[in-house]
Structure 1
Amino acid sequence: MGADRREEENTSFNPRLLDWLVCPITRGLLAWDRDDGELVSKAAGLAYPIRNGIPIMLASEARAITCE
């Protein structure tokens, strides 16, 4: 997916949702990766996609990441 398309899909995400959302696996905090359009759980090593401004908080939809 191109960067323009990703930016278009995620412009409606409200970062204030981070006050309420937690990782469904660890119940830990999430960070918003604006560049990739994902919510990142470093504890779980997962990045959850945001589609049309809606976080998809399903482990089956998340991609594995490595946290340094």
Structure 2
Amino acid sequence: MTRKQYLVTGMSCEHCAASITEEVSQVPGVTDVDVDVTAGSVTVGGTGLDDTRLRAAILEAGYEVAERTAA
């Protein structure tokens, strides 16, 4: 299983976390999503994860991806 972590700006509450989790969970290969609102991070686990699709899902939820960090 692969893990990717992103720094995300604009999150402020659990509704934000739920929106991101819902969008990212629809990306093929995703098996789990962990959103840490306080740290501003999203960690995604799964197989065959596509960075472009994951970023697009976060954008679709209404948030900006600041950068990808090592996971």
- Considering the TM-score relative to the shorter chain, is it more than 0.5? no
Q: TM-score, normalised by structure 1?
A: 0.39
Q: Which has the higher strand share?
A: 2
Q: TM-score, normalised by structure 2?
A: 0.38
Q: Which has the higher helix share?
A: 2
